[in-house]
Amino acid sequence: MNPVVRLALEEDIGSGDVTTLACVPADRMARGRFLAREPLVIAGLDLLRDLYHAPTLLKRDGDRCAAGETVAEVAGPARLLLTHERVALNFLQRLSGVATAARQFADAVAGTGCRVLDTRKTTPGLRALEKAAAAAGGVTNHRIGLFDAILIKNNHIAAAGGVRQAIGNARSSGLPIEIEVRTRAELDEALASGAEHLLLDNLTPAEAAEWVRHIAGRTKVELSGGITLANVRAYAETGADFVSSGAITHSARAMDLSFRLELL
């Protein structure tokens, strides 16, 4: 069982589901359906395998679902179905929210040649699940954590003693290196130092387009800061290779799904 699912069950059930134990006979069998109650992109379905015996998954993560569609079916002891209901819905609603937001961002930049990246602005403990949901929705996963790629930001530059020093010190790691630049002077210094991936933060689309023209394909360019669904296409049309948005994970709305149970 996924340890996150185990933790969620322990948190919710505690010493026992007193309502279900009091109301439902131990030998009562039932089946249930998970339903989308609004249009959404589904994610988190594989977690149902940890919560129920042999669930029937009618959709795959990343599939679009219409309101009223059944996404999965489960059967077994009614007590089990009821006790695991809220944990199952919490995961499906949260992860489908991330996948739905990701799909909206991916659709918004379609045809521009620019890819949308997610960020590390995830729910503590749920990063792997939320990044999987973001990928299912159609965006590209950025670094998973602090361990798999180097992203030199303004505080790193200050601590290292400058752009050139930060890049030079980081090369010995052998890892991919990305560096954030905030001024044209930092930009030119990063280019002169052989930067392979630049992060341009908090520019307007017009400013970003000017900087991208100045870079002229000498390195990969990512734009971030204040990028929303309303303006992401304007940023994508600047010629940047990537745009990143924390909103895909930190501001995703839980989607409306429900569980309907009937006796066997």
For residues 55 and 76, give the distance between their C-alpha atoms in angstroms, rounded to a whole number. Answer: 10
Q: Which of 49, 64, 121, 220 is flagged as catalytic? A: 121
Per the annotation, the verdict on 86 as an active-site residue is yes
Per the annotation, the verdict on 180 as an active-site residue is yes
HEC profile of the chain: CCHHHHHHHHHHHCCCCHHHHHHCCCCCEEEEEEEECCCEECCCHHHHHHHCCCCEECCCCCCEECCCCEEEEEEEEHHHHHHCHHHHHHHHHHHHHHHHHHHHHHHHCCCCCCEEECCCCCCCCCHHHHHHHHHHHCCECCCCCCCCCEEECHHHHHHHCCHHHHHHHHHHHCCCEEEEECCHHHHHHHHHCCCCEEEEECCCHHHHHHHHHHHCCCCEEEEECCCCCCCHHHHHCCCCCEEECCHHHHCCCCCCEEEEEEEC
Q: Which of 33, 153, 164, 220 is flagged as catalytic? A: 153
Per the annotation, the verdict on 153 as an active-site residue is yes
Q: Which of 85, 178, 180, 241 is flagged as catalytic? A: 180
Q: Which of 86, 120, 164, 220 is flagged as catalytic? A: 86
Per the annotation, the verdict on 59 as an active-site residue is no
Instruction: Give the Cβ contact number of residue 240 at 10 Å.
Output: 26
- As annotated, the active-site residues are 86, 121, 153, 180, 201
